[in-house]
Structure 1
Amino acid sequence: MSAPAKMTGRSRPSSESVFPRLIDAGIAIVRQGDPAELTIERVCQVANVSRATFYRRWNTITPILEGIVTKLLIEANPQIEYAGDLRTDMLRCAHGIAGLLSDPAIAALFRHLFAASTTNEDLRHAAQALDRRRNAPLIALLSEAQRTGRVTSRCRPDYIAYQVFGPIWHRTLLLQFPPTDDFIEAVVDTVLASILPVDPA
């Protein structure tokens, strides 16, 4: 995760040093409960960064929102290598995202981002990028499984990722039900049954 680069004078802190402070401040604000508090003024206050410093680099809060969610997604859903059991690895991906969304403050942030993205083009692009970030580790896992013949060559890993994560996001963010272990296992097992190679015997 890197900050949008913009060169500044020698006496000014670089974007690379300011950006992580703003991201950490934003996450601290989110965990306090109200994503509407994620304003430039509030984030700068918590990060101990002047608004003048912020505005020399960015014009909106969007890069900070995207950075916050990207960091949370990376921590919850890191890139993984195939460990020998596809079901176990798929469950690990699903549980990582479910665990992230089980935090009411984090779930509220995602709802806030998606609601705001309906009227804000920058946030819409950010939400689309974050969607790709969420799916990437599972797509990589499924692509490797497909390459080695562990899943059918007919499946589309990018589509399968939506089939795994879609029900979890719908249940958690829209219906606001907990993503229980049995629900997650049912989702993964249903998807897995549709992509395993058919035994010719």
Structure 2
Amino acid sequence: MTAPAGQRGRGRPRDPRTDQAILAAALELFTEHGHAGTSIEQIARRAGVGKLTVYRRWGSKDELIAAAVESARGEIPSPGIGDLDGMSYAQISQVIAEALPGSARTLAEPGYRAMLAQVFGSSVTHPGLMAAFWNDHILPRRRTAHLALSRAVDEGVLPPETDIEALIDMTVGAVVYRLLRPEPPDADELLAYLRSVYEQAGMIPRR
């Protein structure tokens, strides 16, 4: 069984620069050509390493591409739920609000949007990739949103009958829908929109 990325066995220590080169090559190829147009051989060639070096780190193409996608999240934070547990609504919403400028800058990048389009386009043909993206990229941020909205309900900011899951879905859908426009917003426009959507959803207080 292949050891998980980040672990190393006996012998020479892992070079993090090699990991970064492989992830960068995988991300570039996936964004350019999609899942079907990307192979381990191509990734290894672009990264300047052998195929065995790639397979020692990632056991499958889906696993490698999912890791490459996660590495591209830029300034989009992924706070651990343990870091927020015990915080009040005001404290959690402040963490979320402070993260919005970085998220807007990353989401406004054409390369990031192109990568997301490839991920969504692979959801039916390569469900393993979408499952990995969901578990590694979406769920950690969804848990943060759920915790913030749960606190908002507990503290009376939102009504007790609030459907938190539906509210999160609507928030994410609104952002994705805005990114699909023929002329996507720049970082400043997207930041204003994110703040508006998050305020409407109750994830951050209205100003």
Query: Which TM bucket (shorter chain)?
Result: 0.5 to 0.7
Deviations 1:38-84 (A, max 9, x none): 54234323444310222355453211221122234474133275683
From 191, 194, 197, give the equivalent of 1:187: 197
Q: Which residue of 2 aligns with 1:122?
A: 128
In 2, are the aligned partners of 1:86 and 1:145 still within 8 Å (CA)?
no
1:105: how far off?
Answer: 0.6
- Report how far residue 112 of structure 1 moved: 0.7
**1:111 corresponds to:** 117
Give the distance between the partners of 1:121 and 1:88, measured in 2 at CA. Answer: 35
Note if 1:165 corresponds to 2:172: yes
SS for the counterpart of 2:152 is helix
CA contact (8 A) 1:4 1:15 kept: no
Q: Is the 8 A contact 2:21 2:47 kept in 1?
A: yes
Separation in 2 of the partners of 1:153 and 1:113? 35
Report the secondary structure of 1:118's partner residue.
Answer: coil
- Alpha-carbon shift at residue 135 of structure 1 (Å): 1.9
Aligned Cα RMSD in Å? 4.1
Q: Distance in 1 between matches of 2:57 and 2:92?
A: 44
**Which string of whole-angstrom CA distances, capped at 9 and with x for unpartnered residues, describes residues 84-108 of structure 1?**
3776555445554433221101110
Match of 1:45 in 2: 45
Instruction: Output aligned runs, 1:52-201, within 5 Å.
Output: 52-56=52-56, 58-73=58-73, 75-79=75-79, 81=84, 84=90, 89-92=95-98, 94-129=100-135, 130-173=137-180, 177-178=184-185, 180=189, 181-192=191-202
TM-score, structure 1 length as denominator?
A: 0.68
Task: Report what 1:199 is aligned to.
Answer: none
Give the stretch that moved more between structures: 162-171 or 89-98.
89-98
Give unpaired runs (5+ residues) of structure 1. 197-201
What secondary structure sits across from 2:158 in the alignment? Answer: coil
Q: Following TM superposition, by how much is the alpha carbon of 1:19 offset from its aligned partner in structure 2, in angstroms? A: 4.7
Report the secondary structure of 2:90's partner residue.
coil
Structure 2 unmatched ranges of 5 or more: none
Aligned length: 191
